[in-house]
Amino acid sequence: MRNLKLLLATTALSMGVLTLSGQQANAGQLYNGWNYGIDAVGDGSGGNTYDIKGMAIKDSGDKIYVALTGGMPLTGTTYGSTPIGWGDLFFNFSGKDFQTASQNGQLVGVRFANYDNSLATGVYKGVAAKSITAQHAGYSSLKGYYDHGFAKTNTQGTDLATTQDVYNYYYNSTVASNPTTSNTSILNAIASGSKVGNISMLAAQDLTTAGLDFSHFSALGDYTVGFSLDKALLGSGNYVSNIFLECGNDGVALKGNIQPVPESSGAIGLILAGLTFVMGQQHQLRRKQRVLG
């Protein structure tokens, strides 16, 4: 009986762990299974086209869903004859500031919009980042962007709400304590890394079916871009995810947690099978005891 009680307790604990592994830890603003970072209104330098309104990420089983909304279409736009679009999306699981993680090649990068065919779309690991703002009629520095009057509350979303929060995350402590136009380059594209997998672009209906709702936060832009990827490509743990436009005229970031890929239903089946076997053995033992008694 002691063995049976132990197995029952172990089974309950295992089932609880398996259930929790599919749940996302609290971060950002959670709604309907999505984790949202809502960006400041009107901080897109150059007007609505360059104004990002929000980012949302959903941890769902073995998949991660990502959505971005604002005035920039997936196909990009032009400023005069200069093409401008979305930069690359980054995940930083290192616990370090972005600059240090980049220098150490510890970022995960996602290329989802490929305007110049310089890099195939997909997920990259061991990533270092670079700035491409100069090639896209943009700001040479984050300090320059703020000096032009775009230092608003929730400047990079609700998780990096102040300019100091932004400096503290993107740069090492020396730079963050004394940001200037010469030391705050906007790192917004993958410079190097190894491709580890692909992404799947999602239509508006796919995102709606998955529960996405930027309107709940009054943050729905003219365009919403979404895609999914295998969770195993990212890893697990606490992260900061961020993205800038290619010109650096706006950016958004989001803090969250990705749980490990949940155990398969086969593992749960093995636990239940073991429980059934032990209960059967206990039943047979009781019958023998009654016969012998």
Domain ranges of the chain: 1-21+263-293, 25-262
Q: How high is the pLDDT of residue 261?
A: 84
CB 126 within 8 A of CB 109: no
Q: How high is the pLDDT of residue 23?
A: 34
Residue 76 φ/ψ region, left for φ over 0, alpha for ψ in the -120 to 50 degree band, beta for the rest: left
Distance CA 95, CA 100 (A): 10
Taking each helix axis from N to C terminus, what angle separates 265-292 and 2-20, rounded to the nearest 10 degrees? Answer: 170
Q: Exposed, middle or buried, 81 (CB in 10 Å: 0-12/13-18/19+)? A: exposed
Task: Name the residue type at position 233.
Answer: L
Q: How high is the pLDDT of residue 118?
A: 86
Task: Name the residue type at position 238.
Answer: N
Which DSSP state fits 232? G
Q: What residues does 237 pair with on adjacent strands?
A: 258
Q: How high is the pLDDT of residue 274?
A: 52
Q: How high is the pLDDT of residue 14?
A: 43
Q: How high is the pLDDT of residue 42?
A: 96
Q: How high is the pLDDT of residue 281?
A: 59
Q: How high is the pLDDT of residue 265?
A: 45
What is the model's pTM? 0.83
Distance CA 36, CA 216 (A): 10
Task: Name the residue type at position 255.
Answer: K
Low-confidence ranges of the chain (pLDDT < 50): 1, 4-26, 265-272, 275, 278
Q: What residues does 129 pair with on adjacent strands?
A: 190
CB 251 within 8 A of CB 88: no
The owner of tokens 């749980």 is: 259
CB 85 within 8 A of CB 78: no
The closest alpha carbon to 112, from 151, 72, 152, belongs to 72
The owner of tokens 């090649």 is: 105
Q: How high is the pLDDT of residue 117?
A: 82
